[in-house]
Structure 1
Amino acid sequence: MSTPTIVFLDRATIPEQIVVPTLSLEHHWREFDFTSPDQTVERSQGADVIITNKVVLDAAVLSQLPQVKLIAVSATGFNNVDIDYCREHGIAVANVQGYATKSVPEHVIALIFALRRNLRGYHQDIMAGEWQRNNQFCFFTHPIGDIAGSTLGIIGGGVLGQSLALVAQALGMNVVFAEHKGKTECRSGYLPFEQVLAQADVLSLHCPLSEQTLNLIDQAELALMKPSALLINTGRGGLVEEAALVDALKQGVIAGAGVDVFTQEPADKSNPLIANADLPNLILTPHVAWGSDSAITRLAEILIENIDAFLQGKEQNRVV
């Protein structure tokens, strides 16, 4: 390959303070903070390597870019890339794995503590003058629970699920992993999906989004959970049917939810979660669970390592 051209279509998904390392081989580099769907083909012309986080590279786009040899996904999830097309046309795809094994679990634990201790509800009550009306040194308008001794159910036994389990166990939580939904036989160390939903005090989602996991948690699944249970989703927005979750929170089907991911991002007021963001038992964050500075620094390093490996004829973190 002659001097390769590399195009980063959405560089702004990596914060400005994070330095992206330089490739070890000579190359041409182009980057854009954001790329809209109608700009993707034009900006990718002549690129041997395309870097994308969330820019969609489907068959309609890739069919117009026959020169592309590698798609380097600057994230773990790669549902924005047409993997079947890449496999059929010899386009390599590599993603970034194992970079957020501290950041995501810590974000999950933060959400659990905030919800179990009803920090948002108490903050709202203070702002509304509830403390002054009670005329006491403290007041209890929301239940406050401990997480030590409670059961954490994890859906997704990959590196993030396993990393969360270690942190949760250190805090005194009992951890159980759910087998794939619909499976009658369980792998060693896993319990049936429905059983985990029924016994978990906290349910945390860490599985990829696919046709099989779309709306994995819907009205029927929420109804299996304890009324005192919490749902945490830092995986993918489509794993949870958002309107059903809002109804469950309003009707007391479950006690609370922490959500970092949405079906469409950025989410607007048409999203049921955004429209009900004032619920005291709901905490929303804008897809930042993965985003500690140390995690993103490591992501950038692995991203460049993946490209370097490909250009040297080696395979690293290859999806295809």
Structure 2
Amino acid sequence: MTKIVVTDGYTLNPGDLSWKQIETLGELTVYDRTKPDELIDRCKDAAIVLTNKVPFNAAAIDQLPNLKLIGVTATGYNIIDVQAAAQKGIVVSNVPAYGTDSVAQHSFALLLELTNQVGKHAASVAAGGWVKSPDFSYQLSPLTELAGKTMGIVGWGNIGQQTARIAQAFGMKVLYYTPSKKENAFAPWASLPDLFAKSDFISLHCPLKPENTGFVNNELIGVMKPSACIINTSRGPLINEQHLADALNSNRIAGAALDVLSTEPPPADNPLLSAKNCIITPHIAWISKEARQRVMEVTVENVAAFLKGAPVNKVS
């Protein structure tokens, strides 16, 4: 029977989903978490490994001679040395497009927290602020209406386009950037400098590549409006974190709302953890039960197709 190992199953399935469909496909072992020094021992007999954030570099792949399939239980697969896997004849698959609605929704949850500060005001009321207020209403910070504002979207894939639709439903204007203009786009294209200069809110929805690592830096931040904000639900390393923290702390821009950081979990000295007007959530945009259920279902399909000799969703 084919041996299948899940290296880090807890985030995908903390107990509210089921592994039963995968269990029908082989001898399944699920680990909630796997440390780097545990990886080889746990996976040495596996033909199929399913991983979310546990990396498989060339050195690890070289020590796993039985491995035939690495199934990434996510869309992004930068944690896998795909070239090293291909050289060993190992198929790498991913789960595309499962989180479009959830991630776009979370992008707006972050945006609305920047503009309406619901959490801050609710905490104030819970602490007795309204009871003690001399007025029937009070605000702890200025609130911002979205209608008429400009949303700049970097990346025009499924999530970027869904975020754009939500923005338009709020009455916002939308600009988008990708390296090349898309045919039949329902929003105008802008160069990166123009998008950063004209937008009131900038939302990142692009994959991480060597050429765009740290592209949100002093140069682009420097052309932003002082009232503008950055939202990132894509990949943390897209942003030069020290540059963004400096801009926030000097009031160069108004705010940032981030679901991802360059290292996760972050070290205590990450400059954004203490930056002014910076909202951070712990990489949860993808984690709705509905989205995770889709990941599970597609992962089952990926494994089943591979076992039949017709792999799908290959990235290798």
> Is 1:144 the counterpart of 2:149 in the alignment?
no
> Contact 1:206–1:234 (CA<8 Å) still a contact in 2?
yes
Distance 1:179 1:10 in 2: 33
Counterpart of 2:282 in structure 1 is 286
Shift of 1:154: 0.8
> Contact 1:7–1:31 (CA<8 Å) still a contact in 2?
yes
Distance 2:131 2:246 in 1: 32
Shift of 1:268: 3.2
> Contact 1:24–1:308 (CA<8 Å) still a contact in 2?
no
Residue type at the aligned position of 1:6: I
Q: Which moved more, 1:24-33 or 1:45-54?
A: 24-33
Counterpart of 2:295 in structure 1 is 299
> Is 1:243 the counterpart of 2:242 in the alignment?
yes
Structure 1 runs not aligned, ≥5 long: none
Distance 1:256 1:133 in 2: 29
Total equivalences in the alignment: 311
Shift of 1:119: 3.4
Residue type at the aligned position of 1:315: P
Shift of 1:5: 1.0
Counterpart of 1:85 in structure 2 is 84
Change (3 A) 1:132 1:31: closer
Residue type at the aligned position of 2:209: S
> Contact 2:25–2:304 (CA<8 Å) still a contact in 1?
no
Counterpart of 1:310 in structure 2 is 306
Matched position secondary structure for 1:65:
coil
Superposition map of 1:125-164 within 5 A: 135-164=134-163
Normalising by structure 2, report the TM-score.
0.92
Shift of 1:124: 6.5
Distance 2:249 2:131 in 1: 27
Per-residue CA shift, 1:136-179, capped at 9, x if unaligned?
22234422111122111111111111121222222222221113
Matched position secondary structure for 2:70:
strand
Distance 2:36 2:115 in 1: 41
Matched position secondary structure for 1:254:
coil
> Contact 1:73–1:93 (CA<8 Å) still a contact in 2?
yes
Counterpart of 2:6 in structure 1 is 8
Counterpart of 1:42 in structure 2 is 41
Superposition map of 1:249-268 within 5 A: 249-268=248-267
Counterpart of 2:315 in structure 1 is 319
Structure 2 runs not aligned, ≥5 long: none
Counterpart of 1:222 in structure 2 is 221
Residue type at the aligned position of 1:317: N
Distance 1:34 1:217 in 2: 32
> Contact 1:229–1:255 (CA<8 Å) still a contact in 2?
yes
Distance 1:292 1:273 in 2: 25
Distance 1:19 1:27 in 2: 15
Change (3 A) 1:212 1:177: same
Per-residue CA shift, 1:167-219, capped at 9, x if unaligned?
22222222211133xxxx64544321111111111111111112112112012
Per-residue CA shift, 1:217-270, capped at 9, x if unaligned?
012111111111111011111111112112111212111111111111111321
Residue type at the aligned position of 1:7: V
Distance 2:280 2:144 in 1: 20
Change (3 A) 1:24 1:99: same
> Is 1:205 the counterpart of 2:201 in the alignment?
no
Distance 2:10 2:121 in 1: 35
> Contact 1:21–1:300 (CA<8 Å) still a contact in 2?
no
CA RMSD across the alignment:
2.1
Distance 1:132 1:296 in 2: 41
> Contact 1:269–1:275 (CA<8 Å) still a contact in 2?
no
Distance 2:133 2:194 in 1: 42
> Is 1:55 the counterpart of 2:23 in the alignment?
no
Matched position secondary structure for 1:207:
coil
Counterpart of 1:114 in structure 2 is 113
Normalising by structure 1, report the TM-score.
0.90
Counterpart of 2:74 in structure 1 is 75
Distance 1:31 1:141 in 2: 47
Q: Which moved more, 1:126-135 or 1:260-269?
A: 126-135
> Contact 1:231–1:258 (CA<8 Å) still a contact in 2?
yes
Distance 1:91 1:156 in 2: 30
Shift of 1:24: 8.3
> Contact 1:232–1:259 (CA<8 Å) still a contact in 2?
yes
Change (3 A) 1:124 1:242: farther
